[in-house]
Amino acid sequence: MAYQPHYFSEVRKAQENAYAPYSHFKVGAYLRTKDGKAYYGCNVENAAYPMAICAERSSLVSAIADGYRPDDFESITVTVDADKPSSPCGACRQVMKELCEDDMPVYMTNHKGEMIESTVGELLPLGFSGKDLNK
């Protein structure tokens, strides 16, 4: 499914819940499942910086905890309050590679509503996941 205008208002709602007292860089994620359910994520920082979780992973982990399985996801929209849209970090790209299809759309937006569209595979070319293991 193509990007829908309401994705932007939904991802901004997720961003409002971010806990970013150190970086002040609030990120929201709006994950859509193939059956139309939505999962919201936001970044949650911690004084021990490596313990923080990003918005993208937050939404994916919530969906998995609710019973969704890898490849059940339609798209993810991410937003930041910056002059240009930001792409997911390396850790988020790896988790998306594990849980999402390579052609799943990733919509990156900013506070002005500007959007860059990519896919999981484009964000992590030649990536490695459980799909690559001999089972």
Here the tokens at position 36 are 């139309």
The dihedrals phi and psi of 63, each to the nearest 5 degrees, come to: -65, -40
Catalytic residues: 56
Contact, 11 vs 28, CB < 8 A?
yes
Other beta carbons less than 10 A from residue 68's beta carbon: 19
Residue with tokens 């937050």: 58
Here the tokens at position 33 are 């499942």
Annotated binding-site residues for Zn(2+) read 54, 89, 92
Annotated binding-site residues for substrate read 43-49
Annotated binding-site residues read 43-49, 54, 89, 92
